[in-house]
Amino acid sequence: MATLFEESTIAGMTMRNRLVRSATWEGMCDHDGRPTEKLINCYLDLANGGIGLIVTGYAFVSPEGRQLSGQMGLHREDFEADYKSLTSSVHEAGARIAAQLVHCGGQTDTANAGRRPLAPSAVDVDQFPETPGELTKREIDGITDAFGEAAQRARAWCFDAVQLHGAHGYLINQFLSPHTNRRTDEYGGSIEDRSRFLFELYRKVRYAVGDDYPVLIKLTASDNMEGGLSSEDALNVAKKLSDAGIDAIEVSAGTPASGEKNPARVKINKPGDEGYNLEEARRIKEAVICPVMVVGGFRSYEVAENAVRDYGLDYISMARPLIREPDLANRWHRGDRRPATCISCNGCFMPGLKEGGIYCVVEKNAQAKEAKD
């Protein structure tokens, strides 16, 4: 029977436990996407805190796919030394690290993309800041090439794996979802055609890194909105990804337009509020042969352990709790099984925009008050 604190392996990548730091934007890179010493120290804190696998914040594969200031980029060869410093620091602390690759598509704006955003279709929807341009076949090919090139850099720069961001309303999800994909060519219509972009991209990434290197995906199990990607279509995609050789699927759900069922929900105050993607993750786990990770409001050791022991999930992913407590894994491993102190307020993201890096504002305010008293 699997437990949280046991060694495990994904496609040759061995991790010291089944706890994963799920990707979140940190806002700690230079404007061009180059990682800073601040970001390296952030990941070093996570690695020293006992987490098994760190998935980086979403790294854009080409400049027009950038969404926010301080976002990571894996589009330039001259970032090599900076990224090798980052990966070596994590490895020296005993953790593994995967680079999450993204193109934000219509979920960015002209100011950050440097041009009119691009998406599967030129549609006005709530999750798009402005009306994007519809991607041409040539532009689609250029983006899938960019994913392959970014993955090749990640492997060369000693990342242990790459993860494709196929969730939360970004470009892969935009193609999968009928809400944002209204195309009438070979990339739109049925789920087989709406997933064509993803599988073309995956094949290029796999070719770039080889069969012996872990390629993961963060996949939306449902858009949680009327007219969006359904759980049935997402399950279909998950099965095909598993058959195609994907090495692990991290299950999430929702988009910024999904209301209360968005990816980062607030007011997680009791165990019953936690693990809000567990049922969808179990459905996918029962249908695939690859390992399955699940993210979504985990705060309690018992809920996380139950997801592995009773639900049969392979890995538990968390993001916001580790912003406040990067050493949460070590605390639980030592036997202090109190829940994470994160209160799910989402206040941690504002400093990333205003101060050049996310942090827990509740913790910082408490420390300031204590120092004042």
Instruction: State the catalytic residue, choosing from 170, 301, 315, 359.
Output: 170
Cα 6 to Cα 305: distance, rounded to the nearest angstrom = 12
Contact 147, 101 (CB under 8 A): yes
**C-alpha separations of 21 from 12, 42, 259, 295 in Å:** 19, 12, 24, 9
- Asked if 21 and 48 count as a contact pair (C-beta separation under 8 A), the reply is no
End-to-end CA separation in angstroms for the chain: 49
Residue 65 contacts residue 113 (beta carbons within 8 Å): yes
Six-digit token pair at 225? 């909105």
Tell me whether residue 170 is one of the annotated catalytic residues.
Answer: yes
The pair phi, psi for residue 138, each rounded to 5°, is: -65, -40
Q: Which residues are catalytic?
A: 170
